[in-house]
Amino acid sequence: MIVVTGGAGFIGSCIIAKLNALGREDIIVVDHWDAEGLKKKNLAKKVYFKFYDKEEFLDVMSNNSFPGLVTNVIHMGANSSTTGTDREFYIKNNFEYSCRIAEWAVKKNARFIYASSAATYGSGENGYSDKIDNIRICKPLNFYGESKQMFDQWVLDRGLYSKVVGLKFFNVFGPNEYHKGDMRSVVAKSYEKVVTEGRMSLFKSYRPEYAHGEQKRDFVYVKDAVDVVIFLLNHPKVNGIFNLGTGRARPWNVLAHALFAAVGKPPQIDYIDMPEGLREKYQYFTQAEMSGLRAAGYTKPFMSLEDAVKDYVRYLKDQSYF
């Protein structure tokens, strides 16, 4: 059986969709419902064996009372907000919870694949290499990134680098993120305004080397991210901590123009003030160094930003699901 934590969330539910498409239904979903119940729509047409609340899952795990042999654990569950202020919550929810699941999975010889984040790289002063020496010196800018960095370091300190897989997701976007509120991608948040008003907003730059909208991120489509996870499921001898981006940083302006083009509107961009609390913690540039994953045997090309946005707009028209 395959356990997918965060299975009702964004990336997790897309992984389940892909597993279903490949004929896998022996899936245990672990998550908790959001207050509005929006995440339930992510699972509405998915086929899986059983759902556990995240706390219930710990009890089942401790009692070893699973309804079958667990051979793979895909751990996507976490609070992914980059603006939260409760450090203790991030440590408990993202770090300590992950440690418990990882220890159990390794003890049971189940393959363990987990979500790390490009937020661990902070401002990028040490680059974006996923080599071990660089992983150890990352300096996150927020509690979310810190919690992910703590777990990456825990994996290294416990000698698990050669036994598990960590994925440092860069800016993932695509269908099934409708429940994420302010943490949705800019494409998702801007779509309705672009369609109805023909304009959208981007943050101003507060660094002279970047013009407004020319801050750059490594945007990766969720379908590509899922394909990497499936590759790792099918190649159990590939282990380590890998970046998961496209390897190409693109400006926010390019993302905006791709969205306008996808809906057939001329670009009209308003540059707005960035909240003061975010200005010192904002990543102006991210770009995944992808040599590690490529050397591990992943050869499939990533979708271009323009093609990915065009594909995503097909889902945004009626908020359909992957």
Given the residues 97, 114, 144, 221, select the one marked as catalytic: 144
Q: Output the six-digit token pair for 219.
A: 């945007």
**CA 261/CA 185 separation, integer angstroms:** 17
Given the residues 39, 148, 168, 180, select the one marked as catalytic: 180
**CA 204/CA 269 separation, integer angstroms:** 11
Nearest to 75 by CA among 56, 93, 49: 93
Name the amino acid, one letter, at 237.
K
> Residue 138: exposed, middle, or buried by beta-carbon count in 10 A (0-12, 13-18, 19+)?
buried
Please say if 193 is a catalytic residue. Answer: no
> What 3-state DSSP class applies to 31?
strand
For 208-243, letters b (16+ CB in 10 Å) and e give eebebbbbbbbbbbbbbbbbbbbbbbeeeebbbbbb
> What 3-state DSSP class applies to 102?
helix
Under 8 Å between Cβ of 252 and 217? yes
218 φ, ψ to 5°? -95, 95
36 φ, ψ to 5°? -85, -10
Nearest to 223 by CA among 33, 41, 81, 21: 21
Nearest to 168 by CA among 144, 184, 194: 144
Q: Output the six-digit token pair for 245.
A: 């981006």
Please say if 317 is a catalytic residue. Answer: no
Lookup result for tokens 């980059």: 82
Lookup result for tokens 């065009």: 310
The catalytic site residues sit at 144, 180
